[in-house]
């Protein structure tokens, strides 16, 4: 999304893409920092194979700079500061299949999550192809800050997404290092091809106005009123430890506002 102009040897803002010999390459390809078998609801996906488990994997790097990031230890750094394990797409797909065959685990596929997976979209694409060949599912948990060209590379292999819609004002997105219109275009295209659920973290004093939520819910409804929206509570994290957690009553009022336009609105972190 940022289209960083990099000299040979330089790494982009995301810390995961690098100029090697004049070519921009995925520098975190196959470098895994986190791996766990999670409930699908933790992604969060409530209306996609509820009650199932999914193998969740993450690398490092992110193309936004959210001061409230919950996974800043891996998203805001690079491989030099982390313990990483190098895994090929085939090894990861085999691991997912192994967890599927262990009936107690009941794994349905792979979720690309924890950091921002689109900064390493080539590894996601290559792994997702193999996971699909095994008859399993692929889930992308993303901030949606990517070009439509990247999205088209992934869509044939992705079955579901949870996309962070950080807020509904351009100036708020600029504070996070992103662009609202890019995310809106990403969401609009994704809902045409796979199951999509959206998440908005309500940060006190930033994106918590009823007017913003009304505009956001109207826009989502214009795409499809059945798209699930998760409205979640902020807790002090990373560089926003001086803020109070989101007021619960306010959170439920915003849920009510969104519910005027959307059929499925969920509350998170309460």
Within a domain: residue 160? yes
40: domain range? Answer: 30-206
- The whole-angstrom separation of Cα 100 and Cα 87 is 19
**pLDDT tens by residue, 1-47:** 555 554 454 454 556 565 666 666 678 899 999 999 999 999 999 99
Q: Are 70 and 25 in contact (CB under 8 A)?
A: no
Q: Where are the alpha helices (DSSP H) in the chain?
A: 72-75, 89-101, 121-133, 148-154, 170-175, 180-190, 210-223, 248-259
82, pLDDT greater than 80: no
- The whole-angstrom separation of Cα 195 and Cα 137 is 12
Report the pLDDT value the prediction gives residue 31, as an integer from 0 to 100.
Answer: 93
Within a domain: residue 192? yes
Report the pLDDT value the prediction gives residue 7, as an integer from 0 to 100.
Answer: 46
Count of structural domains within the chain: 1
CATH of the domain at 168: 3.20.20.70
Report the pLDDT value the prediction gives residue 77, as an integer from 0 to 100.
Answer: 72
Within a domain: residue 238? no
Within a domain: residue 242? no
Within a domain: residue 227? no
- The whole-angstrom separation of Cα 155 and Cα 3 is 21
Report the pLDDT value the prediction gives residue 22, as an integer from 0 to 100.
Answer: 65
**pLDDT tens by residue, 96-119:** 999 998 866 689 999 999 999 999
The model's pTM: 0.93
CA distances from 261 to 41, 187, 255 (A): 23, 17, 10
Place of tokens 């969104």: 258
**pLDDT tens by residue, 174-230:** 999 999 999 999 999 999 999 999 999 999 999 999 999 999 999 999 999 999 999
Within a domain: residue 232? no
75, pLDDT greater than 80: no
Within a domain: residue 261? no
Within a domain: residue 172? yes
Report the pLDDT value the prediction gives residue 192, as an integer from 0 to 100.
Answer: 98
**pLDDT tens by residue, 223-238:** 999 999 999 999 988 7
Report the pLDDT value the prediction gives residue 101, as an integer from 0 to 100.
Answer: 87
Tokens of 103: 């009936």
């Amino acid at each position: 999304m940022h289209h960083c102009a990099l000299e040979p040897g330089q790494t982009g803002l995301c810390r995961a893409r690098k100029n090697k010999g004049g070519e921009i390459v995925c520098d975190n390809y196959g470098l895994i920092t986190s791996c766990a078998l999670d409930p699908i609801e933790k992604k969060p996906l409530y209306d996609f194979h509820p009650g199932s488990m999914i193998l969740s994997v993450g690398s490092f790097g992110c193309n936004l700079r959210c001061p409230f990031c919950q996974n800043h230890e891996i998203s805001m750094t690079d491989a030099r500061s982390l313990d990483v394990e190098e895994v090929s797409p085939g090894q990861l797909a085999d691991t997912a299949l192994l967890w599927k065959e262990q009936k107690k685990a009941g794994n349905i596929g792979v979720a690309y999550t924890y950091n921002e997976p689109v900064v390493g979209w080539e590894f996601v694409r290559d792994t997702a192809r193999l996971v699909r060949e095994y008859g399993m599912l692929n889930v992308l948990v993303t901030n949606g800050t990517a070009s439509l060209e990247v999205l088209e590379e992934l869509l044939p292999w992705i079955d579901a997404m949870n996309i962070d819609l950080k807020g509904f004002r351009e100036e708020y997105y600029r504070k996070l290092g992103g662009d609202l219109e890019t995310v809106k275009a990403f969401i609009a295209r994704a809902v045409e091809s796979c199951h999509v659920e959206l998440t908005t973290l309500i940060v006190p004093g930033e994106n918590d106005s009823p007017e913003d939520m009304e505009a956001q819910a109207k826009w989502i409804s214009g795409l499809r009123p059945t798209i699930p929206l998760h409205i979640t509570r902020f807790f002090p994290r990373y560089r926003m430890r001086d803020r109070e957690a989101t007021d619960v009553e306010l959170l439920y009022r915003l849920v009510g506002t969104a519910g005027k336009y959307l059929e499925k609105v969920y509350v998170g972190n309460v």
